[in-house]
Chain A
Amino acid sequence: MPEDPITFAVIKNAMDAIVDEVAYTVIRTARSEIVKDVMDYSAAICDAKGEMVAQAKTIAQHLGAIPEAMAAVQARWGGQLEPGDAVVMNDPYSGGMHLPDIFMFYPVFEGGALLAWTVVICHHTDMGGRVPGSNAADSTEIYQEGIRIPPLKLYRAGVMDDTLSAMIGLNVRVPEIVLGDLRAQYAACQVGARELGALVRRYGADGMRGHLAGLLDYAERMARAEIATWPVGTYRFTDHIDSDGLSDDPVPLSVAITVVGDGTLKVDWAGSSPQVRAAINSTLSFTKSNSFLSVRCALRGDIPNNAGVFRCIEVTAPEGCVLNPISPAPVAARALTGYRVMDTMFGALAQIVPEIIPAAGEGGNTVVCLGGRHPDNRPFIIVDMISGCWGGRPDQDGIEAITNPSQNLSNTPVEVLERQHPVRIEEYALVPDSGGPGRFRGGLGLARSYRLLAEDAVLQLRADRLRFAPYGLEGGEHGGAAANWLGEGNAREAIPGKVTMRMQRGQLLTHHQAGGGGHGSPLARDPEAVARDVWNGKVSVEAARRSYGVVIENGHLDSIETARLRGQQQGERA
Chain B
Amino acid sequence: MPARIGVDVGGTFTDVVLALPGGRIVVNKTTTTPQDPGEGVAAGIAAVIAEAGLAAGQVTEIVHGTTVASNTILQKAGARTGLLTTQGFRDVLEIGRIRTPGMFDMTWRKPEPLVPRRWRLEARERTAADGSVVTPLDAESVREAAAFFLAEGVEAVAICFINSYAHPAHERAAAALLRAAAPQLLVTASCEVLPEIKEYERTSTAVVNAYLLPAMRGYLSRLQQRLAAIGITAPVQVMASNGGMIGLDAARERPVFAVGSGPAGGVAGAARLGDGIGAADLIVFDMGGTTAKAAIIEGGQPSLVTEYEFRDGISTPSRFVKGAGYMLKVPAIDIAEVGSGGGSIARIDAGGLLVVGPQSAGGDPGPACYGRGNAEPTVTDANMVLGYLNPTALAGGSLRVDAALSREAIARRIAGPLKLSVEEAAHGIRQIANVNMARAIRAVTVERGKDPRDLALMAFGGGGPLHAVNVARLLGIRRVLISPVAGVFSAAGMLAAEAVHEFVHPLLMPLAQVTPALLQAARASMAQAGHAALAHEGYAKETVELRYAADLRYAGQSSQLTVPVGDFAVAALHAGFERLYGETFGYTAAGEGVELVNLRLSAIGRAEGRIDFPSLALDARALAGAVGERLVSFARGEAPVPTRLLPRAALADGPVHGPAILESYDTTIIVPPGCTARAAGSGTVVIEMEAADA
Contact = CB atoms under 8 A, between A and B. Distances in A.
Interface stretch (A267-275, A414-422, A481-489): A414-422
A191 B162 CA distance: 42
B129 A28 contact: no
A413 B585 contact: no
B379 to A, nearest CB: 14
A9 B428 contact: yes
Interface stretch (B252-260, B394-402, B555-563): B555-563
Interface string B401-441: 00000000000000000111000110110011001101100
B92 A1 contact: no
A497 to B, nearest CB: 21
Given A222-B350, A418-B129, A428-B88, A5 B103 contact: no
A402 B98 contact: yes
Contact of B349 (A8, A10, A219, A302): A302
A405 B106 contact: yes
A411 interface: yes
A218 B351 CA distance: 7
Interface in B489-508: 508
A410 B128 contact: no
A305 B556 CA distance: 34
A6 B320 contact: no
A327 interface: no
A396 to B, nearest CB: 7
A419 B559 contact: no
Interface in A393-421: 393, 396, 399-403, 405, 408-416, 418-420
A28 B584 contact: yes
A426 B355 CA distance: 49
Per DSSP, chain B at the interface is: loop
Given A396-B109, A427-B88, A13 B103 contact: no
Nearest to B105: A301
Given A399-B108, A428-B92, A416 B98 contact: no
Contact of B447 (A8, A21, A201): A21
A23 B586 CA distance: 15
Contacts of A387: 98
Interface stretch (B110-118, B173-181, B262-270, B289-297): B110-118
Contacts of A300: 350
Nearest to A59: B103
B532 interface: no
B610 interface: no
Contacts of A228: none
A302 B105 CA distance: 10
Given A10-B432, A21-B446, 6 more contacts: A20-B320, A24-B447, A305-B104, A387-B98, A399-B108, A429-B95
B373 interface: no
A400 B92 contact: no
B306 interface: no
Nearest to A38: B558
Interface stretch (B31-39, B196-204, B627-635, B649-657): B196-204
A413 B106 contact: no
B275 interface: no
A24 B319 contact: yes
B272 interface: no
A415 B350 contact: no
B99 interface: yes
Interface stretch (A29-37, A150-158, A498-506): A29-37
Contacts of B118: 535-537
Interface in B549-607: 556-559, 584-587, 589
A305 B584 CA distance: 30
A428 B95 contact: yes
B163 interface: yes
Interface in A2-31: 2, 5-6, 8-10, 12-14, 17, 20-21, 23-24, 28-29, 31
Per DSSP, chain A at the interface is: mixed
A216 interface: no
Contacts of A400: 94-95
Contact of A413 (B99, B199, B556): B199
Interface string B120-138: 0000000011000010000
A221 B351 contact: yes
Contacts of B200: 413
A50 interface: no
B90 interface: yes
Question: Which of A57, A416, A427 has the most chain B CB atoms closer than 10 A to its own CB?
Answer: A57
B693 A202 contact: yes
Given A1-B418, A293-B104, A33 B556 contact: yes
14 contacts: A6-B420, A6-B636, A14-B435, A29-B586, A57-B103, A57-B321, A218-B352, A293-B104, A302-B350, A405-B100, A413-B198, A415-B198, A424-B134, A446-B95
B393 interface: no
Contacts of B585: 28-29
A390 B104 contact: no
Given A5-B418, A413-B199, A17 B439 contact: yes
Nearest to A31: B589
B72 interface: no
A60 interface: yes
Contacts of B64: none
Interface of B: 88-92, 94-100, 102-110, 116-118, 128-129, 134, 162-163, 165, 197-201, 318-322, 349-355, 418-420, 424-425, 427-428, 431-432, 435-436, 438-439, 442, 446-447, 449, 508, 556-559, 584-587, 589, 636, 693
A419 B508 contact: yes
A13 B316 CA distance: 13
Contact of B449 (A28, A356, A424): A28
Given A218-B353, A408-B103, A416 B446 contact: no
Contacts of B109: 396, 399
Contact of A12 (B353, B431, B558): B353
Interface residues of A, number: 82
Give the 10 A-B residue pairs with the shortest CB-CB distance, closest first. A6-B428, A427-B88, A418-B129, A401-B95, A536-B117, A222-B351, A429-B91, A57-B320, A37-B558, A413-B198
A310 to B, nearest CB: 13
A5 B352 CA distance: 8
Contacts of B432: 6, 9-10, 13
Contacts of A13: 432, 435-436, 439
Given A5-B420, A13-B436, A410-B99, A426 B116 contact: no
A419 B131 CA distance: 10
B197 A416 contact: yes
A476 to B, nearest CB: 15
Given A24-B319, A33-B556, A416-B198, A427 B94 contact: no
Nearest to A431: B91
A52 interface: no
A58 B94 contact: no
Given A1-B352, A9-B353, A427-B89, A305 B103 contact: yes
A373 interface: no
A56 interface: yes
A428 B91 contact: yes
Contacts of B439: 13, 17
A187 interface: yes
B557 A403 contact: no
Contacts of A419: 129, 197, 508
B472 to A, nearest CB: 15
Given A1-B352, A6-B420, A415 B320 contact: no
Given A13-B432, A222-B351, A403-B98, A429 B424 contact: no
B599 to A, nearest CB: 17
B89 A411 contact: no
A297 B589 CA distance: 40
B586 A58 contact: no
A311 interface: no
B586 A357 contact: no
A236 interface: no
A331 interface: no
